[in-house]
Amino acid sequence: MPRPVRYSPSRSDRARLPGPPAAPGITPPPPSPDRPRRRLRPPSAQQLQWAAMAMLALLLAALWRAQPVPAPRITQKAIDAAVLHTLETQSLPSAAARAAEAVAPSVVRVMGYARTRKGTEVERSVGTGVVIVDKGVILTNLHVVRGAERVSVTFADGTESGASVTGAQPENDLAVLQAHKLPDDLQAAPLRSTQNLRAGDGVVVIGFPFGIGPSASAGVVSGLERTFESPEGGQELSNLIQFDAAANPGNSGGPLVTLDGEVVGIVTAILNPTPARTFIGIGFAVPIENAAQAAGMSPF
């Protein structure tokens, strides 16, 4: 016979079905009624305000902690102590050394060459020059290059170049050269008027005495507006600066430099009444104003 269909009780029916029998002596708890679910309330405006204030306080605290510690205040007493310590523990260059260093990059060696009857090229003269325009314009003495068939200059960095005589001022024994090849970053020497130059001012001579150099010697201005007559050609030079910094053959055409590192003259002659032609303490330089005019530059 067909079995009768049995239906599973519904969820509501299951709730009414009796549960399993309780253990002896234990009373089952009464069924708990269904509790309604709580809904989360959105924060109030006052709560949001307090939260924002708290975040701002935390941010300000973090920024304050990140502030660098202020440096200690530097007083004049501390500066004086540091300068004194430096002077006591380090050897500073002399004023003459600083002056020579300022102009040295602009000093060149000048060589004059000639040919013998057999066609061999020989060294005829050696002197010094100074760059006054960074395009390779060089001042030297006229007697250094006079009669040379070829002129060569050697710059401070070792660059060698041919040079042409582009100007001359015989009355002041000055010549202007133009180098054909220039080194990188060529520097022109700073020039200064002789208007405030006085006897006793410190000066430095830079050049190639007897081809040795560059060499520097220091001394003072001995006098101004001196006159010198060349024992060789009988030419008279006037308005010269007299100095006592050592100069010898080969220094001709080199710069006479103040202790501030500025060129005030072009070394042109030394006085020696003997045939030795060496320095005995009297040298002469053409004022830079005259030299600037030889190069076509406006006087100071």
Q: In the annotation, is 85 catalytic?
A: no
pLDDT at 168: 93
138 neighbors 129 (Cβ within 8 angstroms): yes
Per DSSP, 234 falls in state -
Q: In the annotation, is 173 catalytic?
A: yes
Residues 50-71: tens digit of each pLDDT: 777 778 777 777 776 666 666 6
Rounded CA separation 155/130 (Å): 9
Task: Indicate the pLDDT class of residue 78, thresholds 50, 70 and 90.
Answer: confident
Cis peptide before 214 (omega within 30 of 0): yes
Sequence letter at residue 42: P
Checking if the pLDDT of 112 tops 70, the result is: yes
156 neighbors 107 (Cβ within 8 angstroms): yes
Checking if the pLDDT of 126 tops 60, the result is: yes
Q: Which two tokens stand for residue 130?
A: 């100074």
101-179 and 202-294 have identical folds: yes
State the residue for tokens 């009624």.
33
Q: Which of 125, 152, 161, 173 is catalytic?
A: 173
Instruction: Choose between 66 and 294: higher pLDDT.
Output: 294
Average pLDDT over residues 177-199: 95
Cβ count within 10 A of residue 135: 10
Q: In the annotation, is 252 catalytic?
A: yes
Q: Which two tokens stand for residue 228?
A: 């010198």
State the residue for tokens 């006897």.
199
Instruction: Choose between 43 and 4: higher pLDDT.
Output: 43
Sequence spans of domains, the chain? 101-179, 202-294
Residues 16-27: tens digit of each pLDDT: 545 555 545 555
Identify which of 156, 166, 169, 192 has the alpha carbon closest to the alpha carbon of residue 265: 192
Rounded CA separation 146/288 (Å): 21
Average pLDDT over residues 149-176: 95
Task: Indicate the pLDDT class of residue 15, thresholds 50, 70 and 90.
Answer: very low
Q: Which of the residue ranges 176-190, 215-229, 282-296 would you say has the lowest mean pLDDT?
A: 282-296
247 neighbors 207 (Cβ within 8 angstroms): yes
Q: Which of 106, 143, 161, 215 is catalytic?
A: 143
Cα–chain center distance at 19: 100
Query: What does each C-alpha distance from 28 to 23, 32, 150, 187, 269 come to in angstroms?
Result: 9, 12, 130, 110, 133
Checking if the pLDDT of 289 tops 50, the result is: yes
Task: Indicate the pLDDT class of residue 173, thresholds 50, 70 and 90.
Answer: very high
3-state secondary structure of 167: strand
Q: What percent of the chain has pLDDT over 70?
A: 80
CATH of the domain spanning 202-294 = 2.40.10.10
The correct CATH number of 101-179 out of 3.30.365.10, 3.60.20.10, 2.40.10.10, 3.40.50.300 is 2.40.10.10
pLDDT at 14: 47
Checking if the pLDDT of 30 tops 70, the result is: no
Query: What does each C-alpha distance from 174 to 131, 214, 241 come to in angstroms?
Result: 14, 20, 15
